[in-house]
Structure 1
Amino acid sequence: MRPRTAVSTAALTAALALAVSACSASGSPTGGTGKASGKGATPAAASAQVDYNPRSYDELKDGGTYTTAGTIDDQGNPFNANATLTAKRVWFWYNPDVITYSPTGETQYNPDYLSDVKVGVTGGNQRVVLTLNPKATYNDGTPIDWTAVKATWQANNGADKRYNASDTEGYGHITSVTRGADDKQAVVDFKGVAPWWSSLFTTFLHPKAATLAGFNDAYVKKVHPEWGAGPYTVGKFDPEGGDLTFVRNPKWWGKKGRLDQRVYVNLESDAAANAFKNGQIDYSSAGDAEGLKRLSGVQGTEIRQGGSPFAYSFYVNAKSPHLQDIQVRKALMESIDRTQIAKIQFQGLGDYSEPLPGSLLLFSFQKGYSDNVGAVIKHDPENAKKTLDAAGWKPGADGVREKDGKKLAVTYTLRGDDPLEKATAGALVQMLKPVGIQVDLKNSTEADFAKILTDRSFDIFLVGNRAGDPFGTRYLCEFYCTDSASNLVSIGSPALDKEIHAVSAIADPARQTAEANAVERKALAQYGYLPLFSGPSIYGVKKGLANVGATIFGTPLPETVGWQK
């Protein structure tokens, strides 16, 4: 599964969970001086606080409905490069949840699927032996056995380029998946040592879903409950309206889900906030001060706030006509004041502050984190002008630079009428204008998000990624390899690919992380991504709803989500 999952910036105002499913400030984020405006020293790291009302299974009532805004994505297979966060979250409710993580990142094996896990290294090569629960069975009666593990590996290992897999690097280090003592045991052999192996098998594909047609096309605007497993299954799905309901699965062998129903209602961000205020949904996210204001004070609800596993960046498309020139991309990024973008996003959130993000791989609260962005990309508009001068882009009569009779104009794609989205776009226009880069604004809707990314139909786009596990180093190739379907900005080089693959082969986690930081600095110098902020995770939640809210890396199992006794 792809833990680094793209999310729409609509998430910033009301729906981090939707992702097509990304004022006077009393405090502001960190500035370039290392100070938070009026608030003293910059925090050393972003917040790792959680707030989700953790409760055990026995503390939950039996029954009830949990309703949120959301729908299935255009691509519902979370392994597919075209899938976004919505696909992962919907998949979670009706497919095997084999391995999850605690809020702080400890690996958790689900005994309903795994009876035993053994990891060893012989002759420098790692072997993982997964013993599967004898009762584990897909809804169509197919046993969940070693063939499911093999199918998941083969669909994602990159051997067949026709599979539009989002992340092949980790699977590519597996040399074989074979039958163990019996069909219920899978032996996974690696070339070298894979310290982050658990992230490869957080879920399993049904062998029919792992065929070429199944992987690429079967889940496009469709659900396949017969290929799923778990405490819930699909009760009804409206392919036109997008509404989706999960009900208890009569074929489930573990503890039954506490809820009678889990309901997704297809609503845009503003409508979701209104539905929460009216008591029609039980949960909604608020990524900014206006969203927080709208969700606060609703009778019978509370605000849950914590750290964020999200990272938002400007994606700069290196295949766009003017942006194919690396010097133009460099000048563009040198012209952007990330501090100002963060101030716009965080205005009105009290004394919230965070350091500017320095990596697409790790968060500042994680061990091994390095400020790779700060080492490579400096806010320096005057140097940006010199860079463009040297690249042959000369100021025109209207101040917009020209070369070979063409103006240096790029497009920024924004979605909807959200004030924050418009403020960010306006700030970008004003930052690039003095250096001679014209920014044309292009409107789209939240529903266009996945298609814009899939088609690469953008010049500059604000995109978020959600980390579903703590192993950020493992996703170096996903972001930066030239043949990665998830390298949405089309940067990289064969030489850089070689270095990335060498990093992924390092057995020691600490050394691998250190080398990944060094390689990421080289990749950032190709100027395709500009990390901007993470922000807090803020949710409006009905009181009594358990195991829902700000969890960082945590993923409470579906049967543990419900209403407190």
Structure 2
Amino acid sequence: MRNTTRAAAFVVAAVTGSMLLTACGGSTDDSADKPKKQVTADHASEINPQPADKVKQGGQLRLSVANWITQFNGNQVQGGLGDRTTMTKPMLPSVWDVDAQGAFTPDKDYIESAVSGDKGGKQVLTYKINPKAKWSDGTALSYRDFEAMWKANGLGDEKYLIVDPTGYEDIESVKAGANDQEVVVTMKKQTSQWQAMFWQLLPAKFIDTPEKFNKAWVEKVPATAGPYKVGSIDKASQTVTLVPDEKWWGEKPKLDKIIFRALDRVAAVDAYLNRELDAVSAGNADYYKRTKKTPGTEFRIGAPWDMTHIVFGANGNMADVKVRQAIQLAINTKTLADIPANGMPVDYKTLGNHFYMGNQKGYQDNSGKYGKGDIAAAGKVLDEAGWKAKNPGEIRTKDGKPLVVNFLETAGASATIKSQDAASQAMLKQAGIDMKINNVPENDYFDKYITAGNFEMVSYRSTSYTGLASDFFASYRDPKGKQLFQNNGKIVTPGGEAKFREALTAKTPEEAVKLQQEVDKLVWDAGHTLPTYQTPAVWAVQKKVANYGSPGMASVDWTKVGFMK
């Protein structure tokens, strides 16, 4: 999941990766007695980098994803999942390559250059497409693909069920330049974060109407333009197989096949132990302990933009901002972070910011009083809001109704996730809040609940591969009717959208960071989302696998991924 369809935040199911938490008891793993890795900007990526001549030609790389993907259009509202990104990156074009620190350079296989300039007082973006780049039907990549993406995402047509219009809605025009392979994008508004747009390109002919945009990519990929293409999509076996594309114009890929199987994380670890997978997320102490006993295994740890958080929904009693604020006051995020860190080879750091990771330039702790586990302060806020209890520890009531909030958990959640959710439940009970844990089928978790805004409290991860503030605008802007963007909880942050727009149009990075801190403080007070910790990416990988593992924020070069000679 290291590459995104565009610079938007992606949600990852609560049963994946490091969200598979360990129990609160003492560690039984000897790693607890060893110094833990500190994932910093200097230690942000581990992939066993090897030159192409050290990687053998051939072989099958067997990987897993947590969810069966039904929507392969990453711009469509149901397509914003990291697992979809994982599977589409080897076969769809990217504008940008990103390094482990988040620096951008054009992906030369597709884009020869991409620059921002000024013309007549307006910001103009110019992209020069590699003339060799073609879609699988033989059509050359062109300005039409950029134009179609703008029209779908930026013109406000509600028939296009989009993830995020950020940036696109501020475009005035998309036209051909000297030829069809030169794209000239004229902006209505200045933006310092223009790289967030056109992240992963899609062919115009398959997104240029709402019908095609929403449905042409359901359980199929109608066109590709990458080193790999779809070999088969087998719903019965929950398997997607990619094979080399003989029409690929770039460096010949090393692998014969990339095989993705949809497996829950317990099954994925079992499959790795049975030598059925070549890599697997080892994001909790149990998985770490089990996988490290597998011969040939090494652990690759990276620092992606990956935030585990509790997301609030504006339903039921959670519609009251005071209830949300009280929950933020009552929950001690250090307690939650210590659970997954127990028995792991890396520390889990709490977060006091919704937009920056602790090791990222621009990080500032704006949490203030929230996230410290202050039960007394939570009680005071609830008292002021009319939620009363006769005795400490009793469930509070208002107008004769108990203060109940419903928390979503997947039916397949591990015992370790249940341990963390139980910890939150216990902390809230001390404040007089009855947090009821409701199990839902894993396959329904996102489509029927999260992206539909049908929840009161839930915990999942959001990931980004650039760290640009614009990645997250969709998660904090005000919903419009049925269009939630990525603000799944439908929480309105007073003044937040306007301030965020100021940050997006800032003329300097320093000004943008300053404004983003102001947005962050508003988000905290709105009780929108409670960040808990940065989730380090811990992967168990067979040592022979080259150029793959835990790249952090960096792009994966799928032409170089393979097995060492």
Query: Please, what TM-score do these two structures have when normalized by structure 1?
Result: 0.91
Matched, 1:200 2:197: yes
More displaced 10-residue stretch of structure 1: 359-368 or 524-533: 359-368
Secondary structure of 2:294's counterpart equals coil
Deviations 1:13-51 (A, max 9, x none): 5889xxxxxx41499xxxxxxxxx999999896884321
Matched, 1:79 2:84: no
Secondary structure of 1:560's counterpart equals coil
Alignment partner, residue 443 of structure 2: 447
Matched, 1:379 2:379: no
Residue among 204, 228, 231 paired with 1:235: 231
**How far did residue 164 of structure 1 move?**
2.0
CA distance in 2, matches of 1:478, 1:115: 29
Q: Report matched runs for 1:426-445 at 5 Å.
A: 426-445=422-441
CA distance in 2, matches of 1:88, 1:139: 19
Secondary structure of 2:231's counterpart equals strand
Residue among 23, 26, 40 paired with 1:24: 26
CA distance in 2, matches of 1:290, 1:162: 45
- Taking a change above 3 Å as real, the CA distance of residues 240 and 234 of structure 1, as seen in their structure-2 partners, is same
CA contact (8 A) 1:7 1:84 kept: yes
Q: Report matched runs for 1:114-129 at 5 Å.
A: 114-129=111-126
Residue among 127, 150, 156 paired with 1:130: 127
- The structure 1 segments of at least 4 consecutive aligned residues displaced by more than 6 Å after TM superposition are 37-47
**How far did residue 122 of structure 1 move?**
3.6
- Taking a change above 3 Å as real, the CA distance of residues 129 and 449 of structure 1, as seen in their structure-2 partners, is same
CA distance in 1, matches of 2:359, 2:495: 31
Deviations 1:430-480 (A, max 9, x none): 101121111111113432332221222222111101111132x12342221
- Taking a change above 3 Å as real, the CA distance of residues 87 and 427 of structure 1, as seen in their structure-2 partners, is same
Q: Report matched runs for 1:16-55 at 5 Å.
A: 23-25=25-27, 48-55=43-50
CA contact (8 A) 1:158 1:172 kept: yes
Deviations 1:346-387 (A, max 9, x none): 11125x434421222111111111112246655321111111
CA contact (8 A) 1:358 1:370 kept: yes
CA contact (8 A) 1:376 1:525 kept: no
Alignment partner, residue 491 of structure 2: 491
CA contact (8 A) 2:332 2:372 kept: no
CA contact (8 A) 2:495 2:522 kept: no
CA contact (8 A) 1:315 1:529 kept: yes
- Taking a change above 3 Å as real, the CA distance of residues 561 and 44 of structure 1, as seen in their structure-2 partners, is closer
Secondary structure of 1:236's counterpart equals strand
CA distance in 1, matches of 2:274, 2:317: 48
Alignment partner, residue 113 of structure 1: 110
Alignment partner, residue 527 of structure 1: 527
Alignment partner, residue 280 of structure 2: 284
Give RMSD over aligned pairs. Answer: 2.6
Alignment partner, residue 507 of structure 1: 507
Q: Report matched runs for 1:397-416 at 5 Å.
A: 399-415=394-410, 416=412
- Taking a change above 3 Å as real, the CA distance of residues 513 and 107 of structure 1, as seen in their structure-2 partners, is same
CA distance in 2, matches of 1:39, 1:512: 40
More displaced 10-residue stretch of structure 1: 62-71 or 154-163: 154-163
CA contact (8 A) 1:47 1:354 kept: no
Deviations 1:376-423 (A, max 9, x none): 655321111111111111226882111122111111122224121111
CA contact (8 A) 2:305 2:467 kept: no
CA contact (8 A) 1:375 1:521 kept: no
Unaligned runs of 5+ in 1: 17-22, 28-36
- Taking a change above 3 Å as real, the CA distance of residues 511 and 44 of structure 1, as seen in their structure-2 partners, is farther
Alignment partner, residue 184 of structure 1: 181
Alignment partner, residue 340 of structure 1: 335
CA contact (8 A) 2:494 2:522 kept: no
How many corresponding residue pairs? Answer: 545
Unaligned runs of 5+ in 2: 1-5
Secondary structure of 1:219's counterpart equals coil
Deviations 1:212-250 (A, max 9, x none): 122222223x122x4211111101111233211000112
Matched, 1:170 2:139: no
Secondary structure of 2:511's counterpart equals helix
Residue among 5, 9, 29 paired with 2:10: 5
Secondary structure of 1:538's counterpart equals strand
- Taking a change above 3 Å as real, the CA distance of residues 223 and 162 of structure 1, as seen in their structure-2 partners, is same
Secondary structure of 2:206's counterpart equals coil
- Taking a change above 3 Å as real, the CA distance of residues 193 and 539 of structure 1, as seen in their structure-2 partners, is same
Secondary structure of 2:105's counterpart equals strand
Residue among 305, 328, 347 paired with 1:353: 347
2:506 partner letter: I
Secondary structure of 1:394's counterpart equals coil
CA distance in 2, matches of 1:312, 1:91: 24
CA distance in 1, matches of 2:387, 2:86: 46
**How far did residue 124 of structure 1 move?**
4.3
Query: Please, what TM-score do these two structures have when normalized by structure 2?
Result: 0.91
**How far did residue 295 of structure 1 move?**
0.8
Secondary structure of 2:485's counterpart equals coil
CA contact (8 A) 1:12 1:287 kept: yes
Alignment partner, residue 30 of structure 1: none
CA distance in 2, matches of 1:288, 1:117: 40
CA distance in 1, matches of 2:18, 2:363: 28
Q: Report matched runs for 1:88-107 at 5 Å.
A: 88-107=85-104
- Taking a change above 3 Å as real, the CA distance of residues 374 and 162 of structure 1, as seen in their structure-2 partners, is farther
**How far did residue 136 of structure 1 move?**
1.3
CA distance in 2, matches of 1:135, 1:45: 38
2:385 partner letter: A
Q: Percent identity?
A: 28
Q: Report matched runs for 1:448-463 at 5 Å.
A: 448-451=444-447, 452-463=449-460
CA distance in 2, matches of 1:299, 1:382: 51
Deviations 1:459-503 (A, max 9, x none): 2111101111132x1234222110351011212257432222222
**How far did residue 158 of structure 1 move?**
4.7
Residue among 217, 233, 254 paired with 1:219: 217
CA distance in 2, matches of 1:424, 1:14: 9
More displaced 10-residue stretch of structure 1: 359-368 or 185-194: 185-194
Deviations 1:114-148 (A, max 9, x none): 13333322454321211111121111222211101
Alignment partner, residue 391 of structure 1: 385
Alignment partner, residue 60 of structure 1: 55
- Taking a change above 3 Å as real, the CA distance of residues 72 and 251 of structure 1, as seen in their structure-2 partners, is farther
Secondary structure of 2:526's counterpart equals coil
- Taking a change above 3 Å as real, the CA distance of residues 142 and 43 of structure 1, as seen in their structure-2 partners, is closer
